[in-house]
Chain A
Amino acid sequence: MPRDEETESGVKARYADESYPVDSWVDGETVTNDIDESFDFVVVGTGAAGAVAAHTLTCAGFSVAMVEEGPWIKTREVGEDVYGVFKRGMRDGATQAIEGRAFMPLLQGRAVGGSTLVNSAIAWRTPADVLHDWSKDFGLGDTLSEEALAPHFDALERDLSVKSVDDDVLGENNASLLVEADKRAIQANAIKRYEKGCRGEARCLTGCPHGAKQGMNVSYVPWSLAKGARLFSSCRVDKVIVENGRAIGVLATTTHVFRARATRKRVHLRARHGVFVAASTIQTPNVLRRSGLRSRDIGEHFQAHPGIACGGVMSSPVHMEFGASQGAESTHFRKTDRFKLETISMPPELCAARMPGIGTELMDKLDRYPNVAVWAVQLRAEAKGTVRKGWGGRDVVNLTLTKNDLTRARTALGLMARMMFDHGAEEIWPGVYGLPSVMTSADQVALIDDAPLDPRAYSFVATHLFGASRMGPDPRSSVVGLDFATHEAKNLFVVDSSVFPTNLGVNPQHSIMAIARCAAERVAANAKRSAVA
C-alpha cells in the first residue's frame, strides 16, 4: 500500500503523479500569459512513445519540454464511471471513428500518459517474424533488429515492473478463458502487464484508482520531471517550426474543454537540438502536414488491429468487476489466422451498450450482469487505409476491412462462442447483424461460420494503430529515415507507431516504447557527439 509522503509543494504525495518539483509542470488550463521558453529537445505527446523518449533524453542530460494536448488526470481524480474519463481524457470525448464502408469507433487517450491512461497495460515484445519482415521487405536492415531492441525491452520491463497477472487477481472472466483453451489444447496464458500492486479492480479503462497500472502518467512523465524536464499539459502543438530545412521548435495553443477560444494563450517552445513528434499514428501525420512537410507518403499505409467482442451469460457468477481488466490471452492463431484472443472486463455501461435489445429485455440481461463474461479478438487486419486532413483540420481516418479480414474475424467469433458454450454459457451475443442477437445453444454457432462478409454487419473497435508516417530508406516510399528523422526536415524526429511499416499481431505499447527509447538514445548520442565536435 503506497504511503503519503511530504513533497516540495507541501502536498501529501501518495502516488507517483503527485511527486515532482513544483515548477516543472505548466498547466495550460490555468495559464494566463503567453509562454516563450528554450530547451535542447521538445517532445510532442506524452503517450507511450513521447514519455519514454522524453525520459531517455532527460537521463542523457538534455533539457526537455514535454507538450501534451490533454490534461493531467491525477490518480486521486480517477472515478469509476466511464463517462467521466471519456469526457476529459479521451480524444473527441471518445466519438472518433474510422470511416470506410462501415464506421469503426476509434479510441485514443488525450491526456498526460496518452492512451496508456486508459489501456490495459498488456506488454508484448515485438515478434521476431515481424522484425524480420521489416528488415527484409521494408529495407530497415538492422535498425530495429531483435538484438538492437532487446536492451530496451529489458530496461522497460525493469522500470515498469512487467509481470504475469497474479492468481489472486486473475478473476473468473480471465480464468475461464484459460480453462477452455486448455481443454482444446489451445496455447493460452495469463497476460504480462506493467503493474505494481494490482488489486484486480478491473478498472484499467477508466484509469487505475490505485496508481498500480504503470501508465506513463504515473511513471516516465513524473520521473522525467523529477530529473529536470518540464511538462506543458493542455497545450496543443499547432505546428513544428521548420526553418532552412531544420526543426527549431514548436508553436502551441493552450486548450480548455469548457473555456472559450478567446482565453487561449500562445506557447512558443524553442528546440536547440530537435523536436520529437510522438502524437500517435492518427495525429502525427497532420502535425507533419501542418508543419509544412509535403511527402506524398504522409498518411498512407495506415493499419490497425480491429477488435471485436463476444459476450455471454454464464450459468455461474463471473463478476467481471473483479480481476485484471484484461488478464488472459492466446496468440495460438496469430501466425496462422492473424488473430489474438483476449478477455476483457466490461464495466456495466459498456456492457449495456453492447448487450442486445432494449427495455425489459435489456434490463433482464443487466440484472444478470454478475454472470456475464466478455472475451474479444484482436485482428491483425491486412487492410490498409489512410489518415488525411479534413475540414477544420480534423483527422480523417479511412479503412475498409477486406474479405480475408472478415473471414478471420468470424472464425475467431465462432471459436469464442463455442468455447463459451463449453464453459456453460446459457446464452451468447455474437453481435453480428443478420444473425440472432442471442444464441442459446452451441448448434446455433454454425450460423456465425456463414455470417455475412460485410463490414457493416460487425461492431469492431480500433485501439491499436500503425503506419501513416512509415520508416524506410527511400524518401519516395517513406516519411521517416532509418535515423528516425523525417526525410524532409533535419532534427524533426518521429518515434511513435506511425513509423511502423506494418501492424504486429500483438499489443503495441511495448514495441512503441522500445523503439522510442532506442530512437532517443541514438539521437542523444549523436547530439552529444556533434556538441563535442
Chain B
Amino acid sequence: MTLMSFEKRWAHAGLSAIYPERAHGVRVTFDHVDASLDETMLVVPWRSGMGLRIAIWMVALSPIWLLMRLGTIASVRAVDRQRALGRLISHRNYFVRQLALLFKAFGALWVFRDVKLREAVLRRGERLITLKRKDAGHAA
C-alpha cells in the first residue's frame, strides 16, 4: 500500500501540530517523514497500513467535523491544527482516540530519526557535566 502525495501533506500538517517546529532549544525537522511514511506502509501488514491511512484521513478532515472549519488540516491555521489534534487525542470515542494516538506514536518514531533532535532532547552533555561536578566534589 502506498500513500498519495496529498495524504503525505496531511500527515505533515498533522504532525506539525503535535510536534511544532520550534519550542525551547528543541528544533523539529520533518526531513525523515516522507521516506518513513513510504517505508512504513511497505513494512507493516495491510491491516495496520489501513489503520494508519484511516488515521491520516481522520486527522485531515478533523477541522471540518470538530471545528466546523471548511478546509483540511493542511489548509487551516496553525492554531486550529493544534485545537483539532488536541481534541482528537482526548476524544470520548475510544477508536478516534486510539487512531489519534497511533498517529502521534508513529510521528514520534519518524521525527526522532533526526539525530540533531535526539541530541537536543537527550542533552547528554549535561549529564557529563553533572558527573564531573560530582567527581570534583568527591575529590575535594
Contact = CB atoms under 8 A, between A and B. Distances in A.
Interface of A: 80-84, 86-87, 92-93, 95, 102-103, 257-258, 317, 319, 321-322, 347-350, 352-353, 357-360, 362-364, 366-367, 369-370, 392, 394, 433, 437, 456
Interface of B: 17-20, 23-26, 28, 36, 39-40, 42-48, 51, 82, 85-86, 89-90, 94, 97-98, 101, 104-105, 108-113, 118, 121-124, 126-127, 130
A83 B113 contact: yes
Nearest to A459: B101
Contact of B85 (A348, A358, A370, A437): A358
B109 A82 contact: yes
A86 B32 CA distance: 15
B17 A93 contact: no
A86 B36 CA distance: 12
B10 to A, nearest CB: 16
A93 B44 contact: yes
A348 B121 contact: yes
Contacts of B25: 367
Nearest to A317: B130
A394 B43 contact: no
B112 A369 contact: no
A81 B94 contact: no
A80 B118 contact: yes
A369 B20 contact: no
Contacts of A322: 127
B99 to A, nearest CB: 10
B127 to A, nearest CB: 4
Contact of A369 (B45, B98, B121): B121
A364 B48 contact: no
Q: List 4 tightest A-B contacts by C-beta distance, closest first.
A: A363-B23, A95-B48, A349-B112, A353-B105
Nearest to A83: B109
B20 A359 contact: yes
Nearest to B85: A358
B26 A367 contact: yes
A207 to B, nearest CB: 16
B43 A358 contact: no
A348 B115 CA distance: 11
Decide if the interface of chain A is mainly helix, strand, loop or mixed. Answer: helix
Given A83-B112, A370-B127, A359 B86 contact: yes
B47 A394 contact: yes
A450 to B, nearest CB: 19
A363 B24 contact: yes
A259 B100 CA distance: 30
Counting chain B CB atoms within 10 Å of each CB, the highest count among A87, A258, A358, A362 belongs to A358
A364 B20 contact: no
A86 B109 contact: yes
Given A92-B48, A456-B94, A321 B40 contact: no
A392 B50 CA distance: 15
Contacts of A437: 90
B118 A348 contact: yes
Contacts of B43: 87, 93, 257
A358 B89 contact: yes
A409 to B, nearest CB: 17
A258 B42 contact: yes
Given A87-B40, A319-B127, 6 more contacts: A92-B48, A321-B127, A352-B19, A358-B86, A363-B20, A367-B23
A339 to B, nearest CB: 24
Nearest to A84: B113
Contacts of B130: 317, 319
Contacts of B18: 358-359, 362
Nearest to A353: B105
A395 to B, nearest CB: 10
A93 B105 CA distance: 13
Contacts of A84: 113
6 contacts: A83-B112, A317-B130, A321-B127, A358-B82, A366-B121, A367-B25
A366 B28 CA distance: 11
Contacts of B109: 81-83, 86, 349, 353
